Amino acid sequence: MPRIKPQLFWLGRKKFGLNAAKLLPVCRTLESTANELRWIKQHVAETPSIIPFGARVWKLCDKRGKGLPLAYVLGNQPFGDLEIQCRSGVLIPRTETESYTMHLSNILSRSVSKSNSDQQPINIIDLCTGTGCIPLLLYSQLSRSLASTPLNVVGVDISQKAINLSQRNLQHNARLHHFPPPSNLPKAQASSGTQRKVQFLKADIFSPSALDPILSSPVSSSGEWDLLTSNPPYISPHGFGVNTSRSVRNWEPKLALVPPVERVDLHQKHFYDHYFPDDENLLEHKKGVRYQEEDVFYARLLEIARLYKPRRVLMEVGDMEQARRVVGMVLGDKKLRKLYWREGEEGEGGEAQIWRDDLVGFEGYEEVMDVAGEEVKVKGHPEGHGRSVYLRRGGVVDL
């Protein structure tokens, strides 16, 4: 990292005052310093307190100057049209996540409004939900575009902190009227006739006994999952030390970033035994394969997809390499291949796609990439990183 010129400190202090000198080591450029200072001042001006304005700005700049991420300093982060509250111990929502979630909600609302005439409820589950940003944004967008369709949105996380925070975010945004309050909130008005539900539940997604009751709930009422989303930990232990930025490493929870090593073995040993004691569905060469450490969550997520066959699956990934590996996992498994890949007949079959950053506004971009001998569509602006893997079941149509 290049040294910041002392001249810049002098200039920043002259232009923006002493606060800028605090922020500069973290922001590194004057432009970004000016922006962050403006946001901090805006935040202080909007939240009333008896402590004087200047003192509060100074304190927040001091905190930020020590490297604490801005979202933790201000306590929130805009996400789509929502304001997501952030507390240390829970991962901050990223703009990339925002981008693909918006795109996904566009696809969903377009397709559902065309096909769903008998007002079947839409079931959405988000695993490793964190702040609850993905399910809340989907809920907000869908409750607006599909006003009369019942919604059932579930978020699952292993951390109690995350569950508490996501509950708070649900209430916070309902209070700010960013979306109509779901009918399971105690204070919801009975006036809106549409049944909408949002739940956040604590469960370890690697433990079938905890997850199965949640996953099988719509199946019991003759429904199925319309969408499974997840932004699981996907950084390898080595990458965590090398590729992450300092404020991520120092301040954000490792639990949300790096899959625990012991999961790898646990997953191999326990879960195939549990679900497929005498499995002939797995391709021969896939048996006993060892996934890369950072891909464990995808292996588990795909297993859930095999069992519960959600109509659409979206998983965030770290880069194009990881995206290719995940698509490779799908193509390497007989059953998943049957579900999510165009086998045989044209058009009716499923599809696996890779999405890059910057999808919204660049829907037209598309290229084809060779993964495991198959041609996989890659969507989004060509300069963006590979950001997510999207699976669509056979017979499901996107508009």
Binding site for another protein (CB under 8 A): 15, 27, 30-32, 34-36, 39, 69-71, 77-80, 91-92, 94-99, 102, 231, 233-235, 239, 243-245, 247-248, 252, 256-257, 316-319, 357-358, 360-365, 381, 385, 387
Burial class (CB in 10 A: 0-12, 13-18, 19+), 42: exposed
Q: Which is nearer to another protein, 97 or 199 (CB)?
A: 97
* Contact yes or no for 109/140 (Cβ under 8 A): no
Nearest to 354 by CA among 310, 320, 393: 320
* Contact yes or no for 380/356 (Cβ under 8 A): yes
Q: Which is nearer to another protein, 80 or 180 (CB)?
A: 80
Q: Which is nearer to another protein, 348 or 366 (CB)?
A: 366
Q: Which is nearer to another protein, 96 or 295 (CB)?
A: 96
Closest distance of CB 313 from another protein, Å? 18
Instruction: Please give the helix or strand (H or E) that residue 156 lies within, else none.
Output: strand 151-157
Instruction: Please give the helix or strand (H or E) that residue 353 lies within, else none.
Output: strand 351-356
**What does the alpha-carbon distance between residue 170 and residue 60 come to, in Å, rounded to a whole number?**
26
Q: Which is nearer to another protein, 215 or 359 (CB)?
A: 359
Segments in the chain forming alpha helices (H): 6-16, 18-27, 30-46, 53-65, 70-74, 95-115, 133-145, 160-175, 208-215, 217-220, 237-242, 246-251, 262-266, 272-275, 296-308, 320-332, 334-340
Closest distance of CB 339 from another protein, Å? 26
The amino acid at residue 163 is: I
Q: Which is nearer to another protein, 82 or 154 (CB)?
A: 82
Closest distance of CB 293 from another protein, Å? 15
Q: Which is nearer to another protein, 130 or 180 (CB)?
A: 130
Backbone region of residue 356 per phi and psi (left: phi > 0; alpha: psi in -120 to 50; beta: other values): beta
**What does the alpha-carbon distance between residue 212 and residue 129 come to, in Å, rounded to a whole number?**
17
Sign of the alpha-carbon torsion through 307, 309, 310, 315: positive
Burial class (CB in 10 A: 0-12, 13-18, 19+), 118: exposed
**What does the alpha-carbon distance between residue 328 and residue 340 come to, in Å, rounded to a whole number?**
12
Q: State the CB neighbour count (10 A cutoff) for residue 8.
A: 17
Q: Which is nearer to another protein, 52 or 78 (CB)?
A: 78
302 φ/ψ angles, rounded to the nearest 5 degrees: -70, -30
Q: Which is nearer to another protein, 319 or 343 (CB)?
A: 319
